[in-house]
Amino acid sequence: MPGHHPARSRRPTERKGDVRERAILDTCEALLAQKGHDAITVGDIAEGAGITRGALYFYFGSKQEVVTALVARTVEHLWERSRATAKTDEPRQAIAAAMQRTVELWNEHGPVMRTAIDLSLTVPEIGELWSHTADLFTEAITAVLERAGVQAGTEPDQASAMARALCWMIERTFYHASQEAREKLQKASSTCEHIWLTSAGLTA
């Protein structure tokens, strides 16, 4: 790609030991919480990271590339949590643990996750990351529903279809709750947990 710097194509896992890149991403996350995506400039990120704009461009070609790398770093945490959910054997415990981890993630990375959702339709790289994240969570929810006795399959009353609907319901519910106050996240979690338990036939 013309003008594409090799450093920009590195995966986030290759940058973990690089203090400067980590500082850029940490600064971007802090600025998302303080100012929101639209108000942030490359200069803001560089200043917060303690480097010049030129130094920042050695690592990232634009603000969008910084945000995309930050989303990639954040969804790695999401993927780890989804795998943990899928491995918990007892359905009630799995659901409770999954919802508590969801609250923790939105508390820790809410601004990044809202930004990922907002940009997922217009930035292909972010859209792909977020879609893959949703697929992993859907798989984890499907596994929990099937362990609870819901029939496997893609029909409306079967585990896979129910899991996809639950996944997107949880995403949208937490998105709105996180815009209001952190206290709302716990209430959102309790509601989503109740719906998930009801879907799994575990409320009796």
pLDDT tens-digit readout, 189-200: 999 999 999 999
Q: What does the block give as tokens for 99?
A: 């919802």
- For the chain, list residues with pLDDT below 50: 1-7, 9, 12-17
Task: Return mean pLDDT, the chain.
Answer: 89
CA dist., res. 83 & res. 137, Å (int): 8
pTM over the 0.75 mark: yes
The CATH number of 68-199 is 1.10.357.10
**8-64, CATH topology level:** Arc Repressor Mutant, subunit A (1.10.10)
- How confident is the model at residue 79, as a pLDDT? 83
How many Cβ atoms are within 10 Å of 94's Cβ, its own excluded?
Answer: 24
- Give the CA distances from residue 172 to residues 21, 69, 162, 177, in Å, rounded to whole numbers and listed in that order: 31, 23, 16, 9
- How confident is the model at residue 88, as a pLDDT? 67
pLDDT tens-digit readout, 40-59: 999 999 999 999 999 999 99
- How confident is the model at residue 85, as a pLDDT? 66
Given a contact cutoff of 8 angstroms between Cβ atoms, the answer to whether 164 and 139 are in contact is no
Q: What is Dmax (Cα atoms) for the chain?
A: 61
> Any idea how long the chain is?
204
CA dist., res. 158 & res. 187, Å (int): 27
Residue identified by tokens 């013309």 is: 2
pLDDT tens-digit readout, 81-105: 777 766 667 999 999 999 999 999 9
Concatenate the DSSP letters of all residues of 138-159 into one string: HHHHHHHHHHTTPPPSSSTTSH
Domain boundaries, the chain: 8-64, 68-199
In this chain, the answer to whether the domains covering 8-64 and 68-199 adopt an identical fold is no
